[in-house]
Structure 1
Amino acid sequence: MQAYIPDIAIVITTYKRQELLRGLLQSIRELEVGPAAIVVVDNEKSSETEAIAAQFNVERYVAMENNTGGAGGFSRGVAEAYQMGHKWFWLMDDDVAVLPNAIEELAKWTLKTDTDLANGIPISQTVGAFQPARRNYDSSFFYWQYKFSTKFGMQNPLASAKRVQSQPSTPINCLCFEGGLVHRRAVEEAGLPDARFFIYADDTIYGYVLSQYTKMLFINDYTLIRTRTMQTMRVGSARKLTPASDMSRYYIMRNRGYMANYLKLYRQYNPLFFKLGTAYTLAKELVRLFVSGSTADKRSSLRELRRGMRDSRAIKHDAQWHPYSKVCSLPHTEA
C-alpha cells in the first residue's frame, strides 16, 4: 500500500531578498519527502529572482508588475496554486527554512482532513487550516499570538505560550503567512487573501475569515525555522517587540479599517471595544517608536500614524466596501 503523502503546494512571496529565498528553496529541495509543487511570487520582478527559481526548478514563477506586498503576493500565489489543482497550500515568507521531515509532520494532521472530505464530511466540520510551530533563528520556540480578539480587533497579547507548547494542538481563529497551511476547500468557501491590506494583519484577518467556514488548529510540530535575525525588545518571557518602518506604521493603523469591516460582515463588531483596541494598537506603536530605540524621524513617524488612522476611518465608513471574495473570484478548475 502506498504511503500517504499530502498534495501540498508551497506558496512563497519574496521581495528583494534573493539570498534568503535561495536558502529556503535549498531547504525544500533537501527534503526526503517534498511538496507537489512550489509557487514563487516575486514582488520585485527581478531577473535574479527568476534565475534562482529556474535553478531550483520551481514549478511556477510569477513576476508581479508592481510590489503588492505580502497580502497581494499570497493572494496571487494561492490563486496560482488553486489553478494548478493542488489540495493544500503551504504559505511562507522567504525568511524561513523548512525543517527535515516537515511534510511527514504535516501529513499526520492532513490525513484526517483529506479522509473526512473524501467521505463527504463538509469542510465546515473538519480542520481546513493548520498553523505549525516554528523555531527562531536560535532554535528557540517562536511565540505567535494565536487568538484573534474579535471584541478589540487585535491578536490577544495574553494568549498563553505555555499552553500551545504543552499540548499537541490548540484551536485558533487566525493565521500567519509564515507557515499557515490551508486546504483548497476552505479557500473555495472563504475566498483569496485580501490583497488590499498590502502588509500587516492580512494573514490575521485571512485566518479569521477562514475560521468562519472551517476549523483551524495550531499544531505543536515544528516545520519551519526563521533565518533572519531582527532587533527586538523583550516583553515578558516569550513576547518580543520588533522595530517598524514608517510604512509599517501607516498600514498598521490603516488596515484597522478593513479589519472593522470584516468584523461587521460577520456581525462581531463592537464599536466601543474596537476603539479601545485601536487605542491599544496606537499606544504599542508609540512605545515601539519612543522606547524601543528606534532611529526613525519621530515627526515623520507620527504623521504616518495619523495618516493611517485617517484612512482607516474612511475605509470603515465606505458604503461601497465589499469583502475581497466578492471583489476577486477564484479561477475555475477541477481539483
Structure 2
Amino acid sequence: MHVPDAGSPRVFIVITTFNRADHLQQLLASIDTLDPAPSGVVVVDNASTDGTADLLAALEPRVPVIVHRLPTNVGGSGGFAAGVSRAIGEGAEWLWLMDDDVVVMPDALASFRPWLDHYSCIHGRRYDHAGEPFFWQHILDEFLGVHLPVRGDVFARSSVFHTNVGCFEGMLVSADVVREIGLPDARFFLNGDDLTYGWLISRRYPVAYVDAFVLRKTRAQRQVDLGVRHLNDSSDLSRFCGMRNRGHLARYLRLHGRFNRVGFGLGTLLSAGKELVRLVAVERSLSGAPALWRGWRAARAILRDPDWQPEPPLTAPAGQSRSSGGTR
C-alpha cells in the first residue's frame, strides 16, 4: 500500500460524487499516483444510481479509501459536510475537497507543502478539460454580495493571491479551521456554498490561491469569455439554488455586520442579469429563466425566517458526525 511520508501532515481527500462513475474512476486512479500520498480518501456517494456503488466495491486502491454512502442526494454542500465530518473523525489534519470530475497532478501535495506553514486555507490552480489554465480569481464584494473577477495575471508579481472566497473544487483547509468555523452549510445544496465558506474563513484567516497547478478538469463544459466575466454552462437546479442561496449569504453577511440592504438588492439584480446572459450566450435558450424567479422567492423566505441559524462550530467529539450515512 502506498503510504504518506512519515513527516507529512495527515491529509485526507474528500470527494463528493453523484452518478459520475467514469469520472470518479479517473480521479481515484490519479490519486494513486500522488507522491507523497495522502493519508486517506473519503468518497461521499450521494445516493448514486449508476455504477458508482459497484465501482467503489471493487476498488483495490494504493491509498486507503473510505466510502460514505448517503441514503439521499443532499447536494454538494451536504456531501462535503458529511465527508469533512467523517475525515475529521478519522484523524485528518488537512482536508482537500474536490468534485468527482477532476484528476489530481502527481506532485500536487508536494506543491502544497511549502504553503502549509503559512496558510490554513489554500487553493491551487486548475487546468480545464482542454489543458488550458482555468479562470478562478475572484473577490466577494460584500456591498453587493457578489463575487467579482480579478482580471489580469494575479501571479505576475507574486506566487500567491489573497482572496476572500472558497472553491470546493480544490480547497485545502486545516481541520482546526473547520472545527472553529463549522461544517459547510448543507442547506445550500449546491451553488454558493463554497464561496460563502471561504468568506467565513477569510473573516479570521487569510485565504490563499497559489501559483501551482494541482488539478485538471475531466468534464468538458460549454463556456464563453465575455472579457469582464467567464461563464460556464449551468442547469435549472443550479440557477434556482444560486438565487435561493443569496438568502443564506445575506443572513451570514448580516450576522457579521456586513449586510447592506440596498447594495445586496443591486447585487441580486446583477446576479439575475448574469444568469440571463449565461442562458443566452452559453446555452442559447431562455427556458431556465423561471428557475431564477423561484429562487428569488425562496431567498426572500430565508431572509424572513425567524428560526434561521448559522452553521455552528464543531464542539462535539471529532468522531461524532451530525450527517447521516453508511460506511464500508
Q: What TM-score, normalized to structure 2?
A: 0.90
Which residue is equivalent to 1:278?
268
Which residue is equivalent to 1:30?
33
The within-5 A match list for 1:152-191 is 152-157=144-149, 159-164=150-155, 166-191=157-182
- Within the alignment, does 1:60 sit opposite 2:59 as a pair? no
- Within the alignment, does 1:259 sit opposite 2:265 as a pair? no
Which residue is equivalent to 2:222?
231
Please list the CA deviations of residues 103-162 of structure 1 after superposition, one character each: whole Å capped at 9, or x if unmatched.
11111111x15xxxxxxxxxxxxx2100111111222211113311111111113x1341
Identity of paired residues, percent?
A: 36
- Alignment check: 8 A CA contact 1:230 1:242 kept: yes
Task: Give the secondary-structure state (helix, strand or coil) at the position aligned to 2:138.
Answer: coil
Q: Which deviates the most, 313-322 or 18-27?
A: 313-322
- Alignment check: 8 A CA contact 2:99 2:168 kept: yes
Task: Give the secondary-structure state (helix, strand or coil) at the position aligned to 1:72.
Answer: helix
Please list the CA deviations of residues 283-302 of structure 1 after superposition, one character each: whole Å capped at 9, or x if unmatched.
01111223334346x2xx23
Distance 2:236 2:292 in 1: 8
Segments of 5+ residues of structure 1 without an aligned counterpart are 114-126
The within-5 A match list for 1:133-144 is 133-144=125-136
- Alignment check: 8 A CA contact 1:145 1:155 kept: no
- Alignment check: 8 A CA contact 1:146 1:218 kept: no
Which residue is equivalent to 1:214?
205
CA RMSD of aligned residues (A): 1.9
Distance 1:130 1:78 in 2: 16
- Alignment check: 8 A CA contact 2:85 2:318 kept: no
Seen in structure 2, the aligned counterparts of structure 1 residues 161 and 189 have a Cα distance that, compared at 3 Å, is: farther
Task: Give the secondary-structure state (helix, strand or coil) at the position aligned to 1:147.
Answer: strand
Task: Give the secondary-structure state (helix, strand or coil) at the position aligned to 2:121.
Answer: strand
Match of 1:195 among 186, 196, 200: 186
Distance 2:9 2:161 in 1: 21
Distance 1:255 1:331 in 2: 27
- Within the alignment, does 1:333 sit opposite 2:318 as a pair? yes
Distance 1:333 1:290 in 2: 47
- Alignment check: 8 A CA contact 2:190 2:241 kept: yes
How much does 1:306 deviate?
1.0
Please list the CA deviations of residues 52-101 of structure 1 after superposition, one character each: whole Å capped at 9, or x if unmatched.
23414443101111111111110111001111111000000011100021
Which residue is equivalent to 2:8?
5
Distance 2:285 2:148 in 1: 28
- Within the alignment, does 1:100 sit opposite 2:106 as a pair? yes
- Within the alignment, does 1:324 sit opposite 2:311 as a pair? yes
Which residue is equivalent to 1:308?
295
Seen in structure 2, the aligned counterparts of structure 1 residues 306 and 198 have a Cα distance that, compared at 3 Å, is: same
- Within the alignment, does 1:40 sit opposite 2:30 as a pair? no
Task: Give the secondary-structure state (helix, strand or coil) at the position aligned to 1:325.
Answer: coil
Task: Give the secondary-structure state (helix, strand or coil) at the position aligned to 2:214.
Answer: strand
Give the letter aligned to residue 317 of structure 2: H
Task: Give the secondary-structure state (helix, strand or coil) at the position aligned to 1:162.
Answer: coil
Task: Give the secondary-structure state (helix, strand or coil) at the position aligned to 2:312.
Answer: helix
- Alignment check: 8 A CA contact 2:19 2:48 kept: no
Count of matched residue positions in the alignment of Structure 1 and Structure 2: 312
Q: What TM-score, normalized to structure 1?
A: 0.88
How much does 1:317 deviate?
1.7
- Alignment check: 8 A CA contact 1:4 1:107 kept: no
Distance 1:197 1:90 in 2: 20
Task: Give the secondary-structure state (helix, strand or coil) at the position aligned to 2:234.
Answer: coil
Please list the CA deviations of residues 220-260 of structure 1 after superposition, one character each: whole Å capped at 9, or x if unmatched.
111111111111122128x5312222111111111100000
Which residue is equivalent to 1:242?
232
Give the letter aligned to residue 156 of structure 1: L
Segments of 5+ residues of structure 2 without an aligned counterpart are 320-328
Distance 2:207 2:142 in 1: 16
